[in-house]
Amino acid sequence: MKNIVKEYIAKCNKNHRYLSWEHCYEAFGNPNNSIDYLALHLAFYLASWGMYRGSTELLQKDYKIHIPVVEYIKPLALRRDCVIEADKAQEVMNEVKNRYENIAIKASRTLQTKVLLGTLGCIPAFDRFFVDGWKLKEESIPTISSVYEFAKNHVRDIEECQLMIDRNMQYPPMKIVDMYFWQLGYDKSQKRKPKARS
């Protein structure tokens, strides 16, 4: 796990888009930040992580579309350790989905999990590369309960990865899980690409 996570971290140089997660996660951990400020951070993190591209509904909205979700998540973010079990994470995901759908935004599983990763750090982002990486190692479709089970079975590996990340913050365990499987999926996608003709 350490070597794969190292590969991911090596890309996180100054101003890299991956650091948008850091900025968002830290912003939600500060009780002095306003709902408006947090919505702006969430929007930028989601945009830099691919959720505003193509024909997505979010592309047509300003950052304030996230305010109902932020209003729900802000109190949870100040006590992040309350979301430490699969059932609780699923409950939060369901509420995030409902809040988006109440304002006519279709909340895919990818959007739901990216919001939870960026604000609470309690679940990996179930995007294409993460899912591909998970299938490569676990040979199944990831679920919240299976991801929590994986984290429980790999506590020592996750802690070693946390210790090697030289940042001004500790990455939560689920962020490590996210980085590990995402990188596996990304590497797999690069191997599939046809080689350029010389």
pLDDT at 198 over 50: no
- Residue 117 or residue 11, greater confidence: 117
pLDDT of residue 126: 97
Look over the chain and give the mean of its residue pLDDT values, rounded to a whole number. Answer: 90
Q: Which pLDDT value is given to residue 191?
A: 84
Angle ∠(87,89,20) on CA atoms, nearest 5: 165
Contact assessment for residue 113 and residue 124, using Cβ atoms and an 8 Å cutoff: yes
Residue pair 136/183 in contact by the 8 Å Cβ criterion: no
The pTM assigned to this predicted structure is 0.91
Mean pLDDT of 25-49: 95
As a whole-number percent, the residues of the chain with pLDDT over 70 amount to: 95
> How high is the pLDDT of residue 193?
65
- What sign has the CA pseudo-torsion 64, 66, 71, 73? negative
Residue 6 has pLDDT above 60, yes or no: yes
The whole-angstrom separation of Cα 130 and Cα 172 is 17
In the predicted structure, residue 197 carries a pLDDT above the cut 50:
no
Q: What is the pLDDT of residues 116-152, one digit of tens each?
A: 999 999 999 999 999 999 999 999 999 999 999 999 9
Count Cβ atoms below 10 Å from residue 193 Cβ, excluding itself: 7
Q: Domain boundaries in the chain?
A: 2-189
